[in-house]
Amino acid sequence: MISGGVDSSVVVHQLCEQGHKPSLFYIRIGRDDVDYMDCTAEEDMEICTAVAHKYGLKLELIDLHREYWDKVAVYAIDKIRNGFTPNPDVMCNRLIKFGCFEEKVGKVFDITATGHYATTHVIDGKTWLGTAVDPVKDQTDFLAQITYMQVKKLMFPLGNLMKKEVRQIAAKAGLPSAKRKDSQGICFLNNINYNDFVRRFLGEQEGPIVELETGKILGKHKGFWFHTIGQRKGLGLSGGPWFVIQKDVQQNIVYVSNGYDCTKQYGDTFRLKDFHFITEDPWQEGEHEISFKIRHTPDFTRGIIVPDGDGYLVKSSEMLQGIAPGQFGVIYDKNHRLVIGSGEICNY
C-alpha cells in the first residue's frame, strides 16, 4: 500500500532490498471535482509511479472515494452534528484501508505492508498490535479499531525505525518523496479548512458563549458544531485564555471557563462504550493497570481500568485536560508495548 509519502516509499525500498517484489496499490479517497474534499491524487500518483518505475513494480489505483464518503465522512458529520468529537482517521483505517481495500484487493495477498509507525508481536500464537520505537510518530492510536483478522496479516516495516532514519534511507536511496512533507490533519481535507468543511454540511446558527461559573454571556458563536471540548483557540474572546468546557446541543450554547488552572476543564475519570478488543480480552474481570491515550500525542498516561456495566471506567493517575466525548480512548498494557483496544469516550 503506497501513498506517495516518504514512509510508504521507504517500505517499498526495504521490501525490494529484501528480495521481495510487492504489488503496489494507491488508495484514492478524496475527490477533486468537489469543493469540500481536497484530493492530492495527481501529485501522489506521480510520485508513486516514479517509485514503481524505479523498482520495476506494478502500480494500481484503487478508487474508494464513494466508500469513504458513505462509511467515514458521513460518520464524522453525524458525530459533529450531535455534539461529539469524531476521529475519522481511526475509522478510515478500519473500514477503508484495511476494510474495503481488503475486500476488493487485499484478500488475494498473504501480507499487506504499510508505512504506518507501529509493530506487531506474536505471543502464544496470537498477533498483537504494538507501539513503534519512535514515540512522536507512533500511530497505534489511529489503528486501535482494526480487527484481529486485519492485524494478523499486516506488516509495519517502519515500526522499529525513527523518523529521521526513514528520511535518511529515502535520501540515500534517491526516492522522489525523500523531502516531501508529511501529511497533516484529517486525511481527505488536506488544505481545506476544517470549519469550511463543517459549514458546508451543517451551516451556521448563532448562539451564545457563556461563562460556566457565572452564566454571563461573553460573546457569540456560529454553531456549537464548530467547537470541541478543551478548545482554546478560535473563540474570539478577550481576557483569555478561555477553554470550551461544555456544549448544550439542544440550546446551541457553548460554555467556557477562564484560565489554565480552571478545575472545570480537568478530570481524572472517563467512561468508554462499545469497547473493541483487537486480539482478545486479557482481563476477563476486575481492575487492571494500564496506560492510555485520549488524543494523538507522544505521551502515555498511566491508569486503572475497571468494568462498568456494558463499558469500562478508566481512572487516570493524573488530571486530564479536555476529555472529549466522541473521541476514542486507546488502551495499552501498563508498559505501553501492546495495544489492547479502544472505546468511544462517552458522557456519564
Instruction: Name the residues annotated as catalytic.
Output: 92, 187
The three cell numbers locating residue 242:
478561555
Give me the amino acid identity at 104: K
Tell me how far CA of residue 155 lies from CA of 8, 11, 99, 118, 119, in angstroms. Answer: 12, 10, 16, 9, 8
The burial of 85, by beta-carbon neighbours within 10 Å (0-12 exposed, 13-18 middle, 19 or more buried), is given as buried
Q: End-to-end distance of the chain based on CA atoms, in angstroms?
A: 40
Q: What is the DSSP letter of 180?
A: P
The residues pairing with 117 across neighbouring beta strands, listed in sequence order, are: none
The three cell numbers locating residue 300:
502515555
The three cell numbers locating residue 71:
462509511
The three cell numbers locating residue 319:
488530571
The dihedral sign for the CA sequence 177, 180, 185, 186: negative
Contact between 272 and 316 (Cβ < 8 Å): no
Distance CA(158)–CA(152), nearest Å, equals 17
Residue bearing cell 508505512: 115
Contact between 306 and 273 (Cβ < 8 Å): no
